[in-house]
Amino acid sequence: MRKAFTLAEVLITIGVIGVVAAITIPTLMTKIQGAKFRNQFKKSFSTLKQANRMSQAKYDFNFADLENFECDNPATDNPETNHTVCAILNGTITGLTYLGKGDDVKDSKGNTYNITPEENGNYVSTIFLDEYYLYSLADGSLVGISTDSAAEGFIDVNGVSLPNKIVSCSDNQDTNDAWFAPSPAKVPCTVPNDAKHMTDVFRIYFPRPDGKPNDVVPATNASMYVLNTAK
């Protein structure tokens, strides 16, 4: 006689494997996506810092020399003739595409691009996209730059695709106390690698004439945490 598993034993084994897979695969996929968002933010952030330095080297001005971030023509401003933030981006970043003001941009299904407000305790942080120029980098990340003098910006590492949500800390200690976020951040912050906190939109600041900040920096403790941690 040959020994073998019975049909019932095989079915039970398959069932157990299915349960384990159902429990672990979503967590694994979330961690993979979180790592992707983290790495893409670091890459796009580095691109903007390099653009600032390259503009200074090639054209003798950078973000900190601009009184405001209004542009003459966001798509065609040239640093040889235009002294604007859009000219800096157009003249230093290869593969850059101007998409329009934020509230005019749509996804592949025709839905208007929108960013979910960030809620931290009693504070709600909202990005008003009608006040932002929106650019697409060659790798698909979006860069939003405020048109006013606050030099605010953001990076959406996932483009117009969802979740379009601002990254946040687990303890809600974020945003208000993180202006021109120092390193290390003054407010303790941890961004768990889960779908609620490790999302795709990272707030940043560009340099201003008053020297605060003096380079492109994370604007929140959550962005600072992601930039300074490996996982």
Residue 113 is predicted with a pLDDT of 93
Residue 31 is predicted with a pLDDT of 72
**pLDDT under 70: residue ranges of the chain:** 1-5, 9, 20-30, 118-125, 149, 171-188, 231
Contact in structure between 217 and 227 (CB atoms under 8 Å): no
DSSP of 27-80, one letter per residue?
A: HHHHHHHHHHHHHHHHHHHHHHHHHHHHHHHHHS--GGG-S----S-TTT--TT
Residue 176 is predicted with a pLDDT of 45
Between CA 174 and CA 182 the distance in angstroms is 13
Residue 27 is predicted with a pLDDT of 64
Cα angle 135-35-142, degrees, rounded to a multiple of 5: 5
Structure tokens of 209?
Answer: 């004439």
Residue 29 is predicted with a pLDDT of 66
